[in-house]
A and B are shown apart, each in its own frame.
Chain A
């Protein structure tokens, strides 16, 4: 196992944890997910082509594990308690026009899973669209349309829809 490979993985751990937390809304579950992801990546090192971006590959593994987990939970009909957000601040918006975090927390829950996955990947990780599309295993056009739908849905959910709609732009 090459040391360089492990070092590169180590650099991605904070990003993986952040993304996993955003997906699961539960710090422990998120770390479980990241641990599974790292184990799998290290076991399957041979499958990773050094030419591709390691980060996108890791996120792809994480997403697959997350989706499998969701599928299992859904099949079992279990209800996973959503932990209170660690950093949920006061409900009142700090400034007019700003979106209250609690409001956003609720809004993000209303998104379709695929929209949430795409939006969080782009916004939280600052991944390039190409990289994010790779991680999600979708074409870039699909990524853009998911992004668009996610933002529109958030707008509706956070009351931003009363603001002028975009008509002039295709």
Chain B
């Protein structure tokens, strides 16, 4: 590399071939190549490669640029696309808002709140399942406890007597006081009365004061493997829970509800059953 003003290495030869050297360095490389025929042959080969590549992939300047490659047009499309996207988003937001408020507005129409008695029946069934199994503590106060029914009547704020089910073969065992529910469905505490027949089959009555609507309702259904017969009027609600054939439970219901209604001194309409 004698006489070269800078180091002539492979990179310099590449730069020479690719026309990336300033004039004085070009001249220096040329001088050096004259003295190095091997390198000169290589450089010539590279140059021929470049020429071939250039010819193989000629410049496209003479080709008219298609409209789709016009940056101005693309920019316009991008701009309108963005505007459209914004419009779409806005439209979606409007639809969501309208649907949302409509739904909120209509919720009262389509969404019926579960009636309070549904929960009363549930509570009656749960309490029944809990206490009928008990042998010695099935009731809080036995049937012969003094003032039992007055106590329960006071606590549920409705005058009740223990219905007499002797004709159906059931003996009154006694009763207990159960907590009511808080919140909107508040119905105060409940009195649970328990009966038993000769076959040691038990049934319970779950009695509360009247619900706010004071409507007369009848409901017979099976829940959690037992039958529940619910009745309410303007003075009292009562859920009979037992495992009995439907005719039996209806007969029981008739006499129980009749006696409760009579005691509460409210209107009694046996035909409604």
User: 1/0 per residue A120-163: CB within 8 Å of B?
Assistant: 10111010110000000000000010011001001100101001
Cα–Cα, bound, A101→B49 (Å): 10
Total residue contacts A-B, CB cutoff 8 A: 134
Cα–Cα, bound, A160→B52 (Å): 13
Contact yes or no, A17 B60, CB < 8 A = yes
Contact yes or no, A104 B52, CB < 8 A = yes
Contact yes or no, B38 A42, CB < 8 A = no
Contact yes or no, B46 A151, CB < 8 A = yes
- Which interface residue of B19, B44, B57 has the most chain A CB atoms within 10 A? B57
User: 1/0 per residue B52-71: CB within 8 Å of A?
Assistant: 11111111110101101111
Selected contact of B20 from candidates A87, A128, A148, CB within 8 Å: A128
Instruction: State how many angstroms separate the Cβ of A106 from the closest Cβ of chain B.
Output: 11
B13 within 8 A of A: yes
A169 within 8 A of B: yes
Cα–Cα, bound, A17→B66 (Å): 11
Contact yes or no, B57 A18, CB < 8 A = yes
Instruction: State how many angstroms separate the Cβ of A141 from the closest Cβ of chain B.
Output: 9
Cβ contacts under 8 Å, A39 to chain B: 74, 78
Contact yes or no, A101 B72, CB < 8 A = no
B126 within 8 A of A: no
B79 within 8 A of A: yes
Segment touching B, from A5-13, A64-72, A74-82: A5-13
> Helix, strand, loop or mixed for chain A's interface?
helix
Contact yes or no, A129 B20, CB < 8 A = yes
> Helix, strand, loop or mixed for chain B's interface?
helix
Cβ contacts under 8 Å, A155 to chain B: 45, 49
Contact yes or no, B78 A18, CB < 8 A = no
Residues of A within 8 A of B (CB-CB), count: 54
B75 within 8 A of A: yes
* Given A1-B79, A108-B53, CB of A17 within 8 Å of CB of B69: yes
Contact yes or no, B49 A151, CB < 8 A = yes
Contact yes or no, A124 B57, CB < 8 A = yes
Cβ contacts under 8 Å, B54 to chain A: 123-124
Closest partner residue, chain A, to B19 (CB atom):
A126
Contact yes or no, B15 A129, CB < 8 A = yes
Cβ contacts under 8 Å, A43 to chain B: 78
A164 within 8 A of B: yes
B262 within 8 A of A: no
Instruction: State how many angstroms separate the Cβ of A48 from the closest Cβ of chain B.
Output: 13
A92 within 8 A of B: no
A49 within 8 A of B: no
* Given A10-B70, A18-B59, A39-B78, CB of A104 within 8 Å of CB of B53: yes
Selected contact of B61 from candidates A14, A99, A120, A158, CB within 8 Å: A14
B266 within 8 A of A: no
Contact yes or no, A14 B60, CB < 8 A = yes
Instruction: State how many angstroms separate the Cβ of B214 from the closest Cβ of chain A.
Output: 69
Closest partner residue, chain A, to B12 (CB atom):
A169
Cβ contacts under 8 Å, A31 to chain B: 66, 68-69
Cα–Cα, bound, A43→B15 (Å): 35
A112 within 8 A of B: no
Cβ contacts under 8 Å, A147 to chain B: 14
Selected contact of A101 from candidates B42, B56, B65, B74, CB within 8 Å: B56
Cα–Cα, bound, A160→B41 (Å): 10
Contact yes or no, A38 B53, CB < 8 A = no
Within 8 A of B (CB), among A84-111: 85, 87, 89, 97-101, 103-105, 108
Instruction: State how many angstroms separate the Cβ of B144 from the closest Cβ of chain A.
Output: 87
B37 within 8 A of A: yes
Contact yes or no, B13 A87, CB < 8 A = no
B11 within 8 A of A: yes
Q: List 8 A-B contacts (CB under 8 A).
A: A6-B72, A6-B75, A100-B52, A105-B56, A129-B18, A147-B14, A166-B42, A168-B38
**Which 8 residue pairs of A and B lie closest in terms of their CB atoms, listed nearest first?**
A22-B57, A104-B52, A99-B52, A9-B71, A166-B42, A164-B38, A6-B71, A17-B60
